[in-house]
Amino acid sequence: MILAIDVGNTNISIGCVENGTISLVFTISTSIPKTEDEYAIGIKSILDFHTIDSGAISGAIVASVVPPLTRVLKEAIKLLTGIDALIIGAGVKTGLNILIDDPAGLGGDTVAAAVGALASYEPPLIIIDMGTATKMYVLDNKGNFIGGAIVPGMSLSINALSAGTSQLPYVPIEAPSKAISRNTIDCMKSGAVFGAASMIDGMIGRFESELGKSAQTIITGGLAELVYTHCKRDIIHVPHLLLRGLGILYEKNNP
């Protein structure tokens, strides 16, 4: 069994992958001040709670968009298992042809999602990852990574709206009954959820126009489930796409 670890700006998702199957996924909060000891204890506690022996872990792979935590998580895994985790970055074999201005600047999470998508779906593909930021990117008909777009995530947007105004409250992200809402709270919910769904529909149309053909769209990330059912486009929801991709990348580099 290997640990696949996706270090995001808000949360760290950890999956237990065995023979290509994810048997357990759990999430802990991203906290830069935490030490490697604290992360090791936290991960072990959750594994113990689910009766998973940390001694059964034979490998680990990490994709991180939080550079200060990359080394910390690697050291935490070393403390917990005695294993040196593979970090997605320069020198790691991905099999992904990246055709953007600065391929080295592409995040490990994005690489993992693309690899995971290509393992199960035929290109061209549009991949949408909804987390702290909403990242949308395109794989052409040959599976080449050709670019995409990034917008503020729903939580970031709605919290900024509340923080930057005097009278708008903090509200939970959930869909109201109607797009044309009749009170302030539902109006904010409508803008957040239906606005995000409309943005996704619109960006899919723009991407397909530039591709010159239709593409299958895959959506993932912590906020995806709140939005994709309100989109008018045909979208496949794959909850743990990044962790699947990390499992594949581990096998590519440890045959």
Q: What are the strands of the beta sheet with 133-139, ordered from one edge?
A: 145-152, 133-139, 125-130, 216-220, 235-237
Q: Rounded to an integer, what distance in angstroms lies between the CA atom of residue 204 and that of residue 244?
A: 24
Distances (CA, A) of 188 to 103, 118, 171, 178: 37, 36, 8, 12
CA diameter of the chain: 58
Residues 232 and 201 sit within 8 Å (Cβ to Cβ) = yes
- Cβ partners under 8 Å of residue 216, min gap 6: 121, 122, 124, 125, 126, 234, 236
CA atoms within a 13 Å half-sphere pointing along the CA-CB vector of 13: 22
Instruction: Look up residue 69 and give its amino acid.
Output: L
* Active-site annotation holder among 109, 129, 140, 186: 109
Q: Is 234 a catalytic residue?
A: no
Instruction: Please list the active-site residues.
Output: 109
